[in-house]
Amino acid sequence: MAGLQSLSLFALCSVALLITAAYVLTTAVIQYWRLRKIPGPQAAAWTNLWLLIRMNSDEPFYHFRRRLAEKYGPVQRYGPNRVMFSDISAIPAMYGTTNPIYPKADNHNIPVAYANGTQVLSFIALKDDDKAARLKRNLHSTFTTQGVLSFEPHVDHTVLELVGHLNAAGSSANLAQWMSWFAFDTIARIAFSEDQGFMKQQQDVGGAMQAGQRRFDHWNFYFAIPWLDGILYKNWWVRNSKRPASALMRLALRAIETRKLKGGLGSHHDLLDLYMSSAERDPELYTPAAIIGLTMTTMQAGAETTAFTTATCMYCLLSNKRVLEKLRLEIESVAPANESGWELPSVSVLRKLTYLEACVKESQRLRPTINIVSERVVPAGGATIAGVNLPGGTIVGMNTGGIYHDPSIFGWDVDVYRPERWLEASEEQRVIMNRGNLSFLAGKRMCLGLHVAWMEMRKVVSALVMNFEMELAHPERGLKQSAGIFAAPTDVQIRLSPRRFGRQFIIHSYPRYFWMAIAQPQHSRESSPPIRAPGLAEPITQEPLCKQIVVPPWRATEAGYGRSPRRWTLLLLCLASGAVALNMLIQYFFPTLLGHICHVLALFSVTIKLDNSTWKSKVPDNAAYWLEEHRTALSTMQGNYWNGSDWPTSIQWVSAFMDTLLVASDRSFAYTLGSSDISARSGKSLRSEIDHYLSHVEAFYDDEDVIQIFDAAYDDAQWVVLEWLEAIKFIGEYPKYAQSSHGRANIARFAHRAHIFYNIVQNQFNTSECGGGITWNPALATYKNAITNELFLSSSVAMYLYYPGNTLSDPYPSPRYANVTNTTLPALPRLAKHDPILLRNAVDEYQWFKTHNFTNALGLVVDGFHISHNQTTCNERNEQVYTYNQGVMLSGLRGLWEATGDTSYLRDGYKYIKATINATGWNVHSHSLRGQWAGLGRNGIMEDYCDAPANCSQDNQIFKGIYFHHLGLFCESLPTKQPLVAGVTYTASSGVSATHSSNCASYVPWIEHNARAALGTRNTTGIMGGWWTASHLNKTQEPWLAWSPPKPKGSIDPINEPWLLRQPPWTRQHQRKDLPSDKGTSRSFLNAVDFSKRHRTDFLSRDINDKGRGRTVETQASGIGVRITKEERTVAAKSLSNQSLKEPFFAVYAESFFGIIGKSPSIQLIVERDYKIAHEAPVYVPGDDSVYFTSNVLRSADGSNPHIAISKASRQRDQSWKVQDIPTSISMGNGAINYGNDIIFCAQGTKTEAGGIMVMETKDPYSATTLVDSFHGRLFNSVNDVITHTDGSIWFTDPTYGFEQDFREKPQLPCQVYRFEPETGDIRVVADGFGRPNGLCFSPDEQTCYVTDTDMVHGDGVDPTRVGTIYAFDVIVRNHSHFLANRRVLAMADAGIPDGVKCDLQGNVYSGCGDGVNVWDAGGRLVGKIIIPGGVANFCFTKAGEMVMLNEERVWIATVSDEVQGALLHNLGIDISRP
């Protein structure tokens, strides 16, 4: 019977347990399902234990939140029912100002306290928004910027007291501690007009601080599971239990009681008075319990928050001396110290200090002290927040960890303390930054005491900065912040001493009573007399109200919270173990979850190191450094992956490329050996390395899987051709081998293999489909792709140049071939060296490739073309972009130049390279945009689409290395004396060679940047990873799916998703009869095999580069591909002297510049001469779509005969430009402007001819007449630039450059600006006082005239102490005359001088400067530059969205947004649309 009973009890318990388990599981699944689309840690999606553990770990939750945002993007799930946003567009929805707002979530129940069964009102915890609004209505006016001024004397008092104490504190202090004492005393004074003597006693009087801390700890602990706090602490028994009141409550009670004795209502300017007077008006709302609660919560909300913020701000200042000094200067500007010291200014003065405000805001951003997510609940019915649909009841909050480190909001240097960012951002950006600043929250429930806090912070920070010399005692320790709801700075130890002003210590400026107060024994207060602060009506009592009450900390609580929460940890750990056990069960049944679980565990064990790596970082970049890195990387690859004859973990074509790299490395080592700057000893060791690797190459020749690759796709075969041609090249260049019989034997067998493999593709160029090109893989439907065809170009021309001929006719790649494949091959046809057919193949291939629209809008080469059913043209483009497709043709183009001498091949190469570099974001100058996907990378680092999500196939892992290898081949210096092959190839003129060197040199910083990024991914064994960007971002710990760039529209990725090859459009409709059925299948087969290997994700690793296929021989080789060779360095060094030949580009300084340059800006060279043909004027004549311009001063070889030519460049139908010399009588023409159908020129004159303003016809014979040549009978100096006003007047500048350049006699007039009326002949000086007035223009409304002063440049050279500045003047009319008034600086150019100047219709100001055309907005803010290396003297707007820039030997045309139009032509009514 007993057995039966116990059995049924057991059964009962089991059933109950099962029901509970089923309930828990079902709820978990439902919860999980509701938000399954929101990314976030898997564990968080299932249980709130995850959040509980995170919030109670030692790491501030804030840091963790930042990591979540970085990993999962702008929306993250952090609990089964919790979603956080780091997208600021979510703020208004969550914390809006309009009704109804989302209610506060349940965690706000936790800090609620009960006294004798009654809930004590807490502002922050109050979930009833209506009630909160009603409460605030009465208080609002007191908490406004103006209202808080009534508390200013309280703040002054405690600030001055603090300064006094710190003076007495000796040479060291814990600032964190002092700030807490200060803030408590201040808020107590604001609350009750009486401080508690925290500062005086230098301790937590009455345990109030500790009690507050416990309250927050408690909140933090139960935050994730508020229901548990409800059960444990808010139950009936606890609520009604009699417990001693906390220190704060006792303080509030006592203050209320004694207030009546101290004058009652209206006798004090403090919060208590405010609350009591509110109670008079609305006794139902402001009950006595409410008053106690309000007093307590404002104190609690206002003390530690202010203390922590101030302490962290001081920490930031002390660790940034530059900022500290700048701040001092700003404060001194409004409140200078005098001999007797420094006086604390009023808050209305301090509010004007924008830098001070920025310093505080920046510390709140970088070192936030509020660690809580202010949670709200999505109303029933659900909502869409920031584009994300969420069901009703979801708990939402903002993730400030993500926002404060979002480069698109705060700039790329988000990890740096830089207050300037708050001031220098554009207005729009500043709005975004301020919106993202949630330090005081936002909307209806934002901090009530915001202005009180700002008053305190402004005052105390200024007082500390101005009164003390301070430094961190232990800067090396960094700032430690506690975990929990507040990230409290735990220890800010400083060394300090009073600052001296004049002969005095600053402290002397404080009233005597401070000395008296400080002179009190530290823990006694009885005998101190009342003291009076300046401007303070109330005598200061030194009697702390709660002094006698000493409560053991653990009892200083109200009912409802306060026990040490840690003891629950045990219980939770049990729960956690249960969850883990459950997970194990699931894992058993659903093994696919294993990965996720490991992933989550790995997540827990992660410690992120946030890196301060800077953009375009600097490390030693000399050739020796790169040589060492190269050697190390290569020996690591061979040491780890080479088995003596092969890289067994790789696939055939990749091995062929790795062998190519090995030879290319040997080539660059040999090049280094040939240079003089290598010591004998290191030369010897390098030589032996060369031998060593050559022996690897030879061994691989014997072991290469030639049978497999022979039957692979057409691209695969060509990697083998390039491999052995590279080896032949090396032997030819390295005398030690070239002359040996061993070397000659190698050349013969390498040549034979190259020939065999080239023979596979030699006749595959097929014009019947798509007009040419080679298909990728004959086993698939026709797909003419970039790589196969680029390889055909490169291999054909490399065969033409390097293949030495081959007498063998054996067609078999291996003696075993016939046996293994059972196939007989025809004899290998003979192929002579330099056979013209090879060059023909290359030329035809490139011609086809170029005309076949392989490039997308960014100029990047897309993957290839399919042919639709029943079509013969390539009509289905695959928009997929891979890195290697951008590079392989480069070596081909270089070879084509070598073989033909046609520089257009090189120019095309530069274009491709430029497009690639731009697509990595290298030239993006906006901080916020730099890190964004730019088409083929970001942060200037090349990246494939598969890199960030770590799903690259084995093929793709080596692509970047291929790109850089071929770029390296392209950039080898051009021969100028000895052609590569005498009688066959060409040499370059010195100009072409210099251009090539210079262009290639300009790529070197980018290549080095990528090389550093690749090296930065090395693990402890020195193996590089595949996602180079990871090292730059230092997000090496986790795959960062949020960083996966969206694939281009219309793209299919067969390389990384090889199963696609089994589907249309790759599957063949009709098997081609001329091919063996299995020909070409090996690649797809290999890909499929590879795919199974790919998913060996190492979940437990912290490093993204261990994910996916992880670090492999391919990733290592890829890194080696981006080697910086001695050759490249030499090319770079060579061209440093020829800076002017670098590539132009757009540099963006402000978002508004994007509006100017439009969606597809471009810069094109339209004229190039070997003398300075293009210097000044330019004038656009729309009638014949031509631009007139003047040359620089030209002279005969002996320096005599100075003259200036005028040219006219006319656009032809094919968009090329024809340049024509204009015969002219204008002597030394310079600036010019349209004048009806004619042109006004500035004639500078010569020593024998007068200059002046002349009008030239735009028709042959271009006759010219002088309008004016002198002023007051004195000849002009050398008129420089000219504009016309809509009233018909002509305005011009007249500096003295003619004399300084020795073609004019001594000047007779000052450097001035003139206004000339042709109708009346009236001429007046409208402005003077310039160094060298130069360009000038009107704003679109002609209200402003801009004049550039180029005084920095004289005939005697450049003097940086003189101006290079654009001045703005108001154009005013007084007494019917025009004047230039209110001269002011618009901007000073940062590079060279601003020469020609023009406005667009929006009022932006453009000027030709030392580095190109610089653009400022009308407020003088630089918004962007059109960088033209060598600079631009002058320029003109032509058609809408177009401008022509004069760059001495070159003329460039920039295409920008159609909206951009020059103001001058517009105002003159010249129709620019005429051509």
Binding residues for heme are 447
Give the C-alpha separation, 1010 to 1119, whole Å: 9
Torsions phi, psi for 383 (to 5 deg): -160, 160
Q: State the alpha helices, DSSP H only, in 234-353.
A: 236-240, 247-261, 271-281, 288-318, 321-334, 347-350
Q: How far is CA 855 from the centre of its chain?
A: 26
Biggest CA–CA distance in the chain, Å, is 136
Residue 347: CB atoms within 10 Å: 21
Residue 927: CB atoms within 10 Å: 20
What is the residue whose two structure tokens read 């596979």? Answer: 760
User: What is the enclosing helix (H) or strand (E) of 862?
Assistant: none
User: What is the enclosing helix (H) or strand (E) of 667?
Assistant: helix 652-674
**Token couple for 1454:** 């920039």
Task: Specify the residue, 302 or 743, whose C-beta has the smaller distance to ligand HEM.
Answer: 302
The neighbouring-strand residues paired with 1253 are: 1242, 1268
CB of 311 to ligand HEM, least distance (A): 11
CB of 245 to ligand HEM, least distance (A): 20
Q: What is the DSSP letter of 534?
A: T
What residue type is assigned to position 447 of the chain?
A: C
Task: Specify the residue, 370 or 1389, whose C-beta has the smaller distance to ligand HEM.
Answer: 370
User: What is the enclosing helix (H) or strand (E) of 670?
Assistant: helix 652-674
Helix (H, G, I), strand (E, B) or coil at 464: helix
Task: Specify the residue, 295 or 320, whose C-beta has the smaller distance to ligand HEM.
Answer: 295
CB of 363 to ligand HEM, least distance (A): 10
CB of 151 to ligand HEM, least distance (A): 8
The neighbouring-strand residues paired with 390 are: 383
CB of 1396 to ligand HEM, least distance (A): 51
What residue type is assigned to position 785 of the chain?
A: N
Pairing of strands 388-390, 1264-1268: unpaired
Contact partners, residue 1375, CB within 8 Å, separation at least 6 = none
CB-based contacts of 1199-1202 (< 8 A; 24+ apart in sequence): 1202/1228, 1202/1246, 1202/1301, 1202/1302, 1202/1303
Torsions phi, psi for 1473 (to 5 deg): -90, 0
Task: Specify the residue, 306 or 1227, whose C-beta has the smaller distance to ligand HEM.
Answer: 306
Task: Specify the residue, 368 or 1462, whose C-beta has the smaller distance to ligand HEM.
Answer: 368
CB of 959 to ligand HEM, least distance (A): 48
Task: Specify the residue, 492 or 899, whose C-beta has the smaller distance to ligand HEM.
Answer: 492
CB of 381 to ligand HEM, least distance (A): 24
- Helices 271-281 and 288-318: crossing angle in degrees, nearest 10, is 150
Give the C-alpha separation, 666 to 694, whole Å: 7
CB of 301 to ligand HEM, least distance (A): 4
| Residues in binding site | 447
Instruction: Give residue number: closest CB to ligand HEM.
Output: 449
CB of 559 to ligand HEM, least distance (A): 22
- Judged by the rule CB under 6 A, the positions of this chain that interact with ligand HEM are 123-124, 132, 297-298, 301-302, 305-306, 309, 370, 372, 374, 439-441, 445, 447-449, 452-453
The closest of 957, 973, 831, 814 to 883, measured between CA atoms, is 957
**Token couple for 1199:** 């320096």
Helix (H, G, I), strand (E, B) or coil at 1195: coil
Contact partners, residue 1192, CB within 8 Å, separation at least 6 = 1172, 1175, 1176, 1204, 1433, 1448
Task: Specify the residue, 53 or 132, whose C-beta has the smaller distance to ligand HEM.
Answer: 132
CB of 19 to ligand HEM, least distance (A): 38
Task: Specify the residue, 398 or 888, whose C-beta has the smaller distance to ligand HEM.
Answer: 398
Taking only Cα atoms into account, the Rg of the chain, rounded to an integer number of angstroms, comes to 39
What residue type is assigned to position 1275 of the chain?
A: L
CB of 175 to ligand HEM, least distance (A): 16
Q: How far is CA 699 from the centre of its chain?
A: 46
**Token couple for 1102:** 């912290």
- Tell me how far CA of residue 4 lies from CA of 1, 60, 1354, in angstroms: 5, 55, 113
Task: Specify the residue, 69 or 311, whose C-beta has the smaller distance to ligand HEM.
Answer: 311
Task: Specify the residue, 439 or 528, whose C-beta has the smaller distance to ligand HEM.
Answer: 439
C-alpha torsion sign, points 572, 577, 578, 580: positive
**Token couple for 598:** 């490991």
Tally of residues, the chain: 1475
Task: Specify the residue, 179 or 1311, whose C-beta has the smaller distance to ligand HEM.
Answer: 179
Task: Specify the residue, 184 or 410, whose C-beta has the smaller distance to ligand HEM.
Answer: 184
**Token couple for 715:** 């691209």
What residue type is assigned to position 922 of the chain?
A: W
Task: Specify the residue, 211 or 633, whose C-beta has the smaller distance to ligand HEM.
Answer: 211
Q: What angle do CA 283, 284, 290 make, to 5 degrees?
A: 85
Task: Specify the residue, 367 or 1211, whose C-beta has the smaller distance to ligand HEM.
Answer: 367
CB of 441 to ligand HEM, least distance (A): 4
Torsion region of 940: left, alpha or beta (phi above 0 gives left; psi -120 to 50 gives alpha) = left
Q: What angle do CA 707, 708, 711 make, to 5 degrees?
A: 90
Task: Specify the residue, 370 or 1464, whose C-beta has the smaller distance to ligand HEM.
Answer: 370
Torsions phi, psi for 1366 (to 5 deg): -100, 125
Contact partners, residue 656, CB within 8 Å, separation at least 6 = 704, 709, 716, 719, 720, 722, 723
CB of 310 to ligand HEM, least distance (A): 8
CB of 100 to ligand HEM, least distance (A): 15
CB of 1347 to ligand HEM, least distance (A): 49
